Amino acid sequence: MDKEITETLKTPNTLMVGVVTRGQGSRMMNLLRRRGAHYAVCTFAEGTVPGHILKMLQLAKTKKELVLAFINDEIEDNCYRGLSMDLKIEQPGHGVAFSIPLCGNPTAPEKTELSGALIIVDKGKGEDVLDVFDDLGLRGGTMLSAYGGASIAKILFDMPVQPEKEVVFLVTPSEKIKEMLTSLETELQMSEPNQGIAVTFAISRSIGLFTEAKKGS
Amino acid sequence: MNEKLKETLLSILPITLMVLLIHFSSVATLDSTLLTRFLLGALCMMIGFPLFLQGVDMSIVLMGEHMSGALVKSNKMSIVIIGGFILGFLVNAAEPDVHIFSRQFADLTMEGLSHWIFVLIMSAGFGTMVAFGLLRIIRNVKMRFFAAAVLLLMLVLLMFTAEEFIGVAFDTYGATTGAIATPFLLALAIGVSSKTRRSTEEAAESFGILGIGSVGAVLAILVQGILMKGKPIAPPPDAAAMSADALNHGQFFLKNLVETVKEVSLGLSPILISYAIAAMFWIKPKKRELRRIVLGAIVTFLGLVVFLSGVYFGFLEASKDLGMQLAQTGRMWIPLTVGGLFGLVTVFAEPSVHILNAQIEEETMGSIRKRTVLWTLAIGVALAVTLSVLRILIPEFKIVHMLIPTLIAAIALCFLVPDIFIGIALDAGGVASGTMAAAFILPYAQGLAEHTEGASQLIDGFGIIAFIAFVPILSLLALGLIYRIKAGKSANAKDN
């Protein structure tokens, strides 16, 4: 116990993101908290399931939970061990987790193998984004609903309202990021104003991601 | 997929096992015909249940959301009100249970009025209140004021209406929102709410539309009862019980199937037609969405037909038979306990309950869990059925003895619990008294009443749905109170 308390005092420099089956979010949050995470939140999200027939039958969607937690790089190992031991997260269908290095992270590498993308579009267009990913052969997009925008532009019934949005998360090999952004630009005209935004970031570590190797196992 | 299987088993197995348990404990036994039908019925329910929920998720919910988009985009209050009224009216008029109750009203009047007049009255009441409900969401009127006002109005009208009308009038609360109307109206209200949201706190405001609509139908009938007070009321006719014995399994199943296909088509048609019209002019859905809606509508149709055929084929007669046998045991506690347990397990098997609970969990981002609402509702219904069995056994116990205290308590609780629970409670009451209550609890009570001295089957058989609709309102409001007390405690702990 003593060890964990000292770890908690260190400033967080990594954002850990997890996408797990509905109902497992609280378990993951508690697991991370026990291992010294500073802050953990959870929200509902929708995940995608690969498969052509499922897609045709409109069944290629699963209910997920998205967990965000701030951790210190020193407890990162411990956290990943916990995820693989308690949640069996490496097994197919159990979920994924990855780390985004934040400011002041000494171990942050210059160039990473994996990158993440965060795309915010108007409600209803999230699936268009997922379709673009699908065409490029990128798997495992996660979607959540959100509110807001650059400014409160919409007035309905004489009142300003927060417009509905959709946020899409994706983790992909870094060399594909450029191609993905170009496709989003051509398919969804994202460089035009009010068509949504996309940001990318480095991912220093991950677990449970869908890879060809995992498919074989 | 695994999750779906688990959900299905957890929903249908309890009621199945409960009946089998009674059968094998030889308190009451089903003959081999009824037992075979019951088991086949349960099997149909297990196939239909997940299909229906999946179809609703893909199609009905999406249509409701698109419709809400079309209403809100107009940016005109008048369009929202007219649109809400039309949708509420159509959905209610297509509800099979509404027709059953309207026939009963028509029979109560001496002049031989057509039952369509009552369908019109109820649907107009329902549509008006749906429109008001949407208006409330947009104008952000607090649920507690709105709910307290309509409940008070109900209480006042109850005092003045003809006594014969009370039981049936309050039964309509449960009759108005069936398995197809429930997801559609919920999605419509949630859509309107989230499209006109100004702060994130408002997530709490999306529920209540079903309950408010049903209140409208009850109010309309109560007003009709006041107008008819003093006029002679016809004696209730004998219930036209379906004589199933004469038919073999195949014929009986076929007869049920035809009825269910009619029923489900009628329920789906107003939503599909109004969506088709709106899609041509205002919505412009994407190809992908259209494909999903069409596919989902087919799955919904198949799922519900299979589910309902199973219920009507196997459950109706079996529960009536059990009721008759239990009444003859001569010991009061047996039908009471069995009734309570039946109440508990029917809630699990009610598809609308699952739809409402899933929406609650989704909208509150998991802060109100499905299972919590399910159990609170189940306990409420168990209590309600126990009370209604008691009412059959003790003729002095009148329905107003339950309704008046319940309404007063509900009005008081409106000012004590968080707003979201008021909406949930109003919705849940109508949802709990759905198909399963009508096809399993009602026949059980009728069977009991048939073999209980001093209980006339029709007068006392009525009002059971009203119990099942109103007692859970109280149990969910009580849950809201518990949430508030707990939240208060943890807030205090932080302050100190």
> How many other C-beta atoms can be found within 10 angstroms of the C-beta atom of residue A129?
27
Q: Does B2 touch chain A (CB under 8 A)?
A: no
Q: Does B366 touch chain A (CB under 8 A)?
A: yes
Q: Does A43 touch chain B (CB under 8 A)?
A: yes
Q: Does B287 touch chain A (CB under 8 A)?
A: no
Question: Along the 496 residues of chain B, how does pLDDT read in single tens digits?
Answer: 577 888 899 999 999 999 999 999 878 888 888 999 999 999 999 999 999 999 998 899 999 999 999 999 888 999 999 999 999 999 999 888 888 778 777 776 666 667 888 899 999 999 999 999 999 998 888 888 999 999 999 999 998 887 777 887 888 888 888 889 999 999 999 999 888 877 656 656 789 999 999 999 999 989 988 887 766 665 554 444 444 455 677 888 888 888 899 989 999 999 999 999 999 988 888 888 899 999 999 999 999 999 999 998 889 889 989 988 988 887 888 889 999 999 999 999 999 999 999 999 888 888 888 899 999 999 999 999 999 888 888 877 878 888 899 999 999 999 999 888 999 999 999 899 888 888 899 889 888 888 877 666 555 567 788 889 999 999 999 999 999 998 877 766 655 4
Give me the sign of the Cα torsion angle B260, B262, B267, B269: positive
Nearest by CB to B138, which of A25, A43, A157? A157
Residues of B in contact with A160 (CB under 8 A): 198
Separation in Å, CA B154 to CA B219, B308, B406: 6, 32, 12
A46 CA: distance to closest CA in chain B (Å) = 11
Residue of A nearest to B196 (CA): A161
Give me the sign of the Cα torsion angle A82, A87, A88, A93: negative
Task: State the architecture of A2-106 in CATH terms.
Answer: 2-Layer Sandwich (3.30)
Q: Per-domain residue ranges for chain A? A: 2-106, 114-203
Residues of A in contact with B139 (CB under 8 A): 157
Q: Are B296 and B62 contacting, i.e. CB atoms less than 8 angstroms apart? A: yes
Return the exposure string of A146-156: e unless at least 16 CB atoms fall within 10 Å of the residue's CB, then b. bbeeeeeeeeb
Distance CA B294, CA B55 (A): 10
Q: What pTM was computed for the model?
A: 0.88
Query: Over the stretch B319-341, which tens digit does the pLDDT of each residue have?
Result: 989 988 988 887 888 889 999 99
Fold classification of A114-203 (topology level): Alpha-Beta Plaits (3.30.70)
Q: Does A134 touch chain B (CB under 8 A)?
A: no
Give the angle B368-A64-B425 at the CA atoms, nearest 5°: 20
φ/ψ region of A58 (left if φ > 0, alpha if ψ in -120 to 50, else beta) reads: left
Residue type, B246: A
Q: Are B338 and B93 contacting, i.e. CB atoms less than 8 angstroms apart? A: no
Q: Which tokens hold the place of B107? A: 């029979």
Chain A contacts in chain B segment 378-437 (CB below 8 A): none
Nearest by CB to A161, which of B58, B77, B197? B197
